[in-house]
C-alpha cells in the first residue's frame, strides 16, 4: 500500500510517500518512495521534491519557487509531480496508486488516545479542538480538507496525533495545581507532544534489545527545533515535559520552556505588552535564540562557541544542557517510583540535535556517572547521521539497575504510515 504522509504547518507542508504492508511492518522493510517540503505557502513558495532510491534515501532532488495560494495548491502540486513522468516513481503511475493518506495532527485533546480513520464526526471533533491548539490544528485540518477535495472521499485518511502516546499520563502528572474547576470546565491540563517520536524511538529500543513491552523503561529526549523529554515505563508514557501547549519544558530553538508564570505579567507591565505579545516572545524569540541573541540553530551556536569563544552562545548551550539534565534526574525518580523492581533504564537521544551532536550528548550527561550513566567517547563520536545504538561504556555486571544511553534516529513519518495502514485494517497499533 502506498501511503501519502502529510505534515501541514502554519505555512509549510512536509510530505512522504511510503510503501508499506503488514508484512513490511513485521520485517521492517517499508520503503520511502518520495518526500518533500513546501515552505512559505501563501506567497512565492519554495518547493523541494525528492525521489528516493532502492535504499530509501533521496537520489534525485527538484527545487523551484512557485506561487502557491493555499494548501490545495500545494497538495495539487505534489500530486501532479508524483504521477508525472518527470518524477519517475515506478509504482505511482496515477492517483489510483495513492491508497491512503496519513495526517500528522498536533492536538488530539482527551478524546483521541490513538490514531483514527477520519470521518465527519472526527472532523467535527478536530474543529472543536482548535481552541486548544490555535497555532497548529487549523493547518492540519486545512491539509486534510485539501487532500479530500483533490483525491476524493474514496481514499481513506487517518489522523495520527502528537498527543496520543501521552494519554497514559497519570492524573498527578497531567494536572496543574490550579483550581480543579479549570480542568473540569476547560480541560486545562498537560497533554504533551512529540508523542509519535517518543513512541517510535522507545519501540525501536525495545526491538533492538529484544525486550518485552513490560520491561521497556526509558527517558527519551527529542532534541530538535522543538524539544521534549518523556518518561516511559512498561512501554507507556508516564510523564512528559510539554504541557497544555508545546511551550513548557526544555529549552528549545525559540521557545523558553519552563518559566515562572508570573514572568508574563511582569514583562507585560514593564514593556507595555499585551498577553499575546508576551506569549509570542516566549514562543518565537526565546530559547537558544533569546539567550544567545544570535540564532536558534544549535550547529551555529556550537561553531560560535568554538571559533569565537562567544559568551552568550556558550550560555545558551549551557542552559539547554542543564535543563535536559534536570529532566533526566526527575524522570529517573518518576520511573523508579513507578517500578521499584526496575532493572534497566535507557536514555534515548533523538531529533536533529540528539541524533547528530556528540558534544551536546556529552554535556547533557556530564556528572551523571553517579547514576551509572557514562558515555563511551568513541561510540558517542561516531553516533551521527542516522547511526543507531548504545553509546554507553560497557559496564561489568552489577546488582544495581543499569542506566545506558542510546542514539536512535526518529522517523515520525514511518510510524504515521504504519498507523494509517493499521487503522484502516482495524488492527491494533503496536507500541
Ligand atoms: P525540527 O524540530 O524542525 O524537525 P530537527 O530535528 O531537524 O528540527 O533539528 C534541528 C536542530 O538540529 C537545529 O538546531 C540544528 O542545528 C541541529 N543539528 C543538526 N545537525 C547538527 C549537528 N551536527 N550538530 C549540532 N546540531 C545539529
Query: Ligand 1: distance of its center to the CA of 367 in Å?
Result: 24
Is there a contact between 115 and 419 (Cβ–Cβ < 8 Å)?
Answer: yes
Q: Please report the pLDDT score of residue 133 as a whole number.
A: 83
Band (pLDDT 50/70/90 cuts) for residue 3 is very high
Q: What b/e string do you get for 181-202 counting C-beta neighbours within 10 Å, with b at 16 or more?
A: eeeeeeebbbbbbbbbbbbbbb
Band (pLDDT 50/70/90 cuts) for residue 127 is very high
Residue 92 contacts by C-beta under 8 Å, 6 or more apart in sequence? Answer: 2, 17, 33, 34, 82, 83, 98
Distance CA 68, CA 376 (A): 49
Active site residues: 162
Query: Ligand 1: distance of its center to the CA of 418 in Å?
Result: 25
Query: Ligand 1: distance of its center to the CA of 97 in Å?
Result: 34
Q: Residue 307 forms beta bridges with which residues?
A: none
Q: Is the pLDDT of residue 129 over 80?
A: yes
Distance CA 47, CA 68 (A): 10
- Mean predicted confidence (pLDDT) in 151-160: 96
Query: Residue 177, SS3?
Result: coil
- Mean predicted confidence (pLDDT) in 331-359: 95
Query: Residue 39, SS3?
Result: strand
Residue among 37, 353, 364 whose CB has most ligand 1 atoms within 8 A, to mutate: 353
Q: Please report the pLDDT score of residue 86 as a whole number.
A: 87
Q: Please report the pLDDT score of residue 132 as a whole number.
A: 85
Estimate to the nearest angstrom the gap between the alpha carbon of 285 and the chain centroid: 21
Phi then psi dihedrals of residue 323, to 5 deg:
-65, -40
Q: Please report the pLDDT score of residue 134 as a whole number.
A: 83
Q: Is the pLDDT of residue 102 over 80?
A: yes
- Cell for 425? 485494517
Distance CA 413, CA 30 (A): 11
Q: Is the pLDDT of residue 431 over 80?
A: no
Q: Which atom of ligand 1 is nearest to the CA of 410?
A: 6
Mean pLDDT of the chain: 95
The half-sphere exposure of 107 on its side-chain side, counting CA atoms within 13 A, is 25
- Mean predicted confidence (pLDDT) in 396-416: 92
pLDDT in tens, 211-262: 999 999 999 999 999 999 999 999 999 999 999 999 999 999 999 999 999 9
Q: Can you give the C-alpha Rg of the chain in angstroms?
A: 22
Distance CA 408, CA 206 (A): 11
Query: Ligand 1: distance of its center to the CA of 336 in Å?
Result: 31
pLDDT in tens, 27-81: 999 999 999 999 999 989 999 999 999 988 999 999 999 999 999 999 999 999 9
> Ligand 1 pocket by C-beta < 6 Å: which residues?
224-226, 253, 297-299, 302, 351-353, 356-357
Amino acid at each position: 500500500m502506498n501511503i501519502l504522509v502529510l505534515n501541514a504547518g502554519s505555512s509549510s507542508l512536509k510530505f512522504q510517500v511510503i510503501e508499506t504492508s503488514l508484512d513490511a511492518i513485521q520485517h521492517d522493510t517499508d520503503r520511502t518512495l518520495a518526500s518533500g517540503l513546501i515552505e512559505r505557502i501563501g506567497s512565492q513558495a519554495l518547493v523541494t521534491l525528492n525521489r528516493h532510491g532502492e535504499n530509501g534515501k533521496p537520489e534525485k532532488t527538484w527545487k523551484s519557487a512557485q506561487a502557491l495560494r493555499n494548501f490545495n495548491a500545494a497538495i495539487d502540486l505534489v500530486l501532479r509531480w508524483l504521477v508525472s513522468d518527470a518524477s519517475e516513481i515506478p509504482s505511482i503511475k496515477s492517483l489510483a496508486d495513492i491508497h491512503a493518506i496519513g495526517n500528522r495532527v498536533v492536538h488530539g485533546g482527551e478524546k483521541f488516545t490513538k490514531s483514527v480513520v477520519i470521518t465527519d464526526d472526527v472532523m467535527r471533533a478536530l474543529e472543536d479542538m482548535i481552541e486548544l491548539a490555535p497555532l497548529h490544528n487549523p493547518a492540519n485540518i486545512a491539509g486534510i480538507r485539501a487532500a479530500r477535495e483533490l483525491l476524493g472521499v474514496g481514499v481513506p485518511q487517518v489522523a495520527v496525533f502528537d498527543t496520543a502516546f501521552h494519554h497514559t499520563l497519570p492524573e498527578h502528572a497531567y494536572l496543574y495545581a490550579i483550581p480543579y474547576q479549570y480542568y473540569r470546565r476547560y480541560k486545562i491540563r498537560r497533554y504533551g507532544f512529540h508523542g509519535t517520536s517518543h513512541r517510535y524511538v522507545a519501540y525501536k529500543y525495545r526491538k533492538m534489545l529484544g525486550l518485552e513491552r513490560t520491561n521497556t523503561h526509558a527517558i527519551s529526549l527529542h532534541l530538535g527545533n522543538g524539544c521534549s523529554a518523556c518518561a516511559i515505563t512498561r512501554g507507556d508514557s508516564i510523564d512528559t515535559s510539554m504541557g497544555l501547549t508545546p511551550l513548557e519544558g526544555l529549552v528549545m530553538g525559540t521557545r523558553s520552556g519552563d518559566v515562572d508564570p508570573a514572568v508574563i505579567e511582569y514583562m507585560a507591565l514593564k514593556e507595555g505588552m499585551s498577553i499575546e505579545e508576551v506569549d509570542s516572545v516566549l514562543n518565537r524569540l526565546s530559547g537558544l535564540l533569546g539567550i544567545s541573541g544570535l540564532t536558534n540553530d544549535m550547529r551555529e551556536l556550537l561553531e560560535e562557541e568554538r571559533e569565537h569563544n562567544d559568551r552568550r552562545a556558550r550560555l545558551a548551550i549551557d542552559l539547554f544542557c542543564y535543563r535536559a539534565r534536570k529532566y533526566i534526574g526527575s524522570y529517573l525518580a518518576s520511573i523508579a517510583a513507578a517500578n521499584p523492581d526496575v532493572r534497566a533504564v535507557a536514555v534515548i537521544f533523538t531529533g536533529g540535535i540528539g541524533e547528530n551532536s556528540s558534544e551536546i550528548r556529552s554535556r547533557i550527561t556530564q556528572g551523571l556517572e553517579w547514576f551509572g550513566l557514562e558515555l563511551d567517547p568513541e561510540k558517542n563520536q561516531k553516533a551521527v547521521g542516522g547511526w543507531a545504538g548504545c553509546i554507553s561504556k560497557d559496564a561489568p555486571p552489577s546488582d544495581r539497575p543499569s542506566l545506558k544511553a542510546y542514539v536512535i534516529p526518529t522517523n515520525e513519518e514511518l510510524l504515521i504510515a504504519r498507523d494509517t495502514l493499521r487503522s484502516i485494517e482495524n488492527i491494533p497499533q503496536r507500541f
